[in-house]
């Protein structure tokens, strides 16, 4: 069977590309349903883009690579699509746009566009092998026990990254990239909870508070959540993408507060108040109790010198922690690294090595912040490839 374009992967990027690539497109996926990550995303409401999308909010070996695709298919373009489809949405926080209803509306929208564009979808289909001969990509596809040979002029690899293998994530994109002579930036889990030795935060699991989490020169002001295994919450997920094993995290537990000034003022008002009690105005009591073990929080405010207050404020503003590791692919929301952008054209996502070959979405070494950025990359890179086909 001959087709114009074969798209591997019916996730966010593959479906977007199929809706714009035109007739003669075949999309295949080994899963039983398309767009499974869209369905479960954003707690079932899909954080489908972000109003504040800009290239600096994406990590990549080449920070300029994402610019072209993001500029040529923007968050406003996807928002138009959503609004025209009558899907109600709202901004939750920090520019993050969610459906008012279910995330499956986004999957349905992409499927409708794909059908309208004349593309065909084969689910429960796996790739047996793939060759490139005489300008054709020749794929042997296995579906319900039958093997079909499909020849395509264009091949779009949209099989995503390695996060959440239980949901069908595989390293197929990386194997194909290597088969066709592309380099890889080593894939690693991103937007992932960080782990600590057992018992490190005993008694704190479930506690959340606003913090500034920093690693090197990067910081995020969002919520931190203590878990049984370590730290999570948006601030930690965000910083996890910038963290490398062996590095420390710095957590400002009282961001935007002049804690030293507040403690000095409290001391002159009520010097007999216990330091622990005074700190509970700024931090949850459970956390104060936990920190008391390390930071000597006994005594009263009246006992504290200005120097001691300054030291305490600096300790709480720069709580330094060394994570043991991450929760890994099992819970990572995205994959950092992937197909090296040096081998791709940033306008079309086309391979510089093999004519007609494209890589899009999470498979590529472009990873967004938490908050709708990764779907926007899937939409923008999918559109870039489709326009070039």
Residue closest to 345 by CA, chosen among 282, 297, 286, 387: 387
Helix pair 259-269, 306-317: axis angle to 10 deg: 140
Closest CB to ligand FDA among 254 and 381? 381
Taking CB under 6 A as the binding criterion, the range among 69-77, 194-202, 349-357, 371-379 that sits at the site for ligand FDA is 371-379
Q: Give the shortest CB-46-to-ligand FDA separation in angstroms.
A: 6
Closest CB to ligand FDA among 30 and 358? 30
Cβ-contact 360, 160 below 8 angstroms: no
Q: Give the shortest CB-182-to-ligand FDA separation in angstroms.
A: 16
Cβ-contact 42, 54 below 8 angstroms: no
Q: Give the shortest CB-223-to-ligand FDA separation in angstroms.
A: 16
Query: Which two tokens mark 329?
Result: 């692919």
Q: Give the shortest CB-158-to-ligand FDA separation in angstroms.
A: 5
Distance in angstroms (rounded) separating the CA atoms of residues 325 and 285? 28
Q: Give the shortest CB-349-to-ligand FDA separation in angstroms.
A: 11
For ligand FDA, which residue has the nearest CB?
Answer: 11
Residues within window 9-28 making contact with ligand FDA, judged by CB under 6 A: 9-14
Closest CB to ligand FDA among 172 and 316? 172
Q: Give the shortest CB-112-to-ligand FDA separation in angstroms.
A: 17
Interface pick for ligand FDA out of 137, 180, 243, 375 (rule CB under 6 A): 375
Exposed, middle or buried: residue 166 (CB in 10 Å: 0-12, 13-18, 19+)? exposed
Q: Is 109 near ligand FDA (CB under 6 A)? A: no
Q: Is 31 near ligand FDA (CB under 6 A)? A: yes
Contact pattern from residue 269 through residue 308 relative to ligand FDA, giving x for each residue in contact according to CB under 6 A and a dash for the rest? ----------------------------------------
Closest CB to ligand FDA among 4 and 170? 170
292-330 burial, b at 16+ Cβ within 10 Å, e below that, comes to eeebebeebbeebeeeebeebbeebbebeeebeebbebe
End-to-end Cα separation, the chain, in angstroms: 19
Residues with Cβ within 8 Å of 143's Cβ and at least 6 positions away in sequence, in order, are 122, 124, 125, 126
Taking CB under 6 A as the binding criterion, the range among 34-42, 265-273, 279-287, 292-300 that sits at the site for ligand FDA is 34-42
Kindly report the CA angle at 105 between 102 and 107, in degrees rounded to 5? 120
Interface pick for ligand FDA out of 25, 41, 346, 351 (rule CB under 6 A): 41
| Cα torsion 44, 45, 46, 50: sign | negative
Q: Is 65 near ligand FDA (CB under 6 A)? A: no
Q: Give the shortest CB-127-to-ligand FDA separation in angstroms.
A: 6
DSSP H helical segments within 127-229, as ranges? 172-179
Kindly report the CA angle at 101 between 9 and 90, in degrees rounded to 5? 100
Q: Give the shortest CB-82-to-ligand FDA separation in angstroms.
A: 13
Q: Is 126 near ligand FDA (CB under 6 A)? A: yes
Q: Which helix (H) or strand (E) holds 333?
A: none
Residues within window 153-192 making contact with ligand FDA, judged by CB under 6 A: 158-160, 163-164, 168-170, 172
Q: Is 222 near ligand FDA (CB under 6 A)? A: no
Q: Give the shortest CB-313-to-ligand FDA separation in angstroms.
A: 36
Backbone φ/ψ region at 337: left (φ over 0), alpha (ψ -120 to 50), beta:
left
Distance in angstroms (rounded) separating the CA atoms of residues 174 and 162? 10
Distance in angstroms (rounded) separating the CA atoms of residues 64 and 62? 5
Interface pick for ligand FDA out of 234, 372, 379, 384 (rule CB under 6 A): 372
Closest CB to ligand FDA among 75 and 214? 75
Query: Which two tokens mark 164?
Result: 């959440």
Which residues are at the interface with ligand FDA (CB under 6 A)?
A: 8-14, 29-31, 36-37, 40-42, 46-47, 126-127, 158-160, 163-164, 168-170, 172, 333-334, 361-363, 372-375, 378
């Amino acid at each position: 069977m001959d087709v114009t374009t074969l798209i591997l992967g019916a996730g966010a990027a593959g479906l977007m590309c199929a809706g714009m690539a035109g007739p003669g497109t075949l999309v295949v996926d080994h899963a039983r349903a398309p767009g499974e990550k869209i369905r479960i995303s954003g707690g079932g409401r899909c954080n489908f883009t972000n109003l504040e999308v800009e290239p600096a909010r994406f990590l990549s070996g080449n920070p300029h690579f994402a610019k072209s695709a993001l500029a040529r298919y923007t968050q406003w373009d996807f928002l138009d699509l959503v609004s025209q489809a009558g899907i109600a949405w709202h901004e939750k926080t920090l520019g993050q746009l969610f459906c008012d209803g279910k995330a499956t509306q986004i999957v349905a929208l992409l499927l409708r566009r794909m059908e309208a564009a004349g593309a065909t979808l084969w689910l429960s289909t796996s790739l047996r092998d793939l060759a490139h001969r005489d300008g054709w990509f020749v794929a042997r596809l296995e579906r319900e026990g039958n093997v079909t040979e499909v020849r395509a002029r264009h091949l779009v690899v949209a099989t995503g990254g390695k996060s959440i293998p239980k949901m069908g994530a595989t390293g197929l994109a990386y194997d194909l990239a290597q088969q066709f002579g592309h380099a890889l930036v080593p894939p690693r889990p991103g937007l992932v909870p960080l782990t600590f030795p057992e018992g490190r935060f005993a008694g704190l699991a479930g506690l959340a508070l606003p913090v500034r989490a920093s690693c090197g020169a990067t910081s995020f002001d969002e919520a931190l959540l203590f878990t049984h295994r370590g730290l999570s919450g948006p601030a930690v997920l965000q910083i996890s993408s910038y963290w490398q094993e062996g590095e420390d995290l710095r957590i400002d537990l009282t961001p935007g507060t002049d804690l030293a000034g507040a403690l000095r003022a409290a001391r002159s008002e009520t010097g007999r108040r216990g330091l622990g009690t005074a700190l509970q105005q700024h931090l949850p009591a459970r956390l104060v109790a936990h920190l008391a073990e390390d930071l000597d929080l006994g005594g009263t405010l009246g006992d504290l010198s200005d120097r001691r207050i300054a030291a305490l404020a600096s300790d709480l503003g720069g709580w330094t922690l060394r994570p043991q590791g991450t929760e890994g692919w099992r819970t990572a929301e995205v994959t950092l690294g992937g197909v090296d952008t040096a081998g791709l054209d940033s306008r079309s996502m086309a391979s510089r090595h093999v004519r007609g070959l494209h890589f899009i979405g999470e498979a590529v070494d472009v990873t967004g912040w938490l908050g709708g950025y990764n779907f926007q990359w899937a939409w923008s890179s999918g559109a870039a490839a489709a326009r070039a086909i």
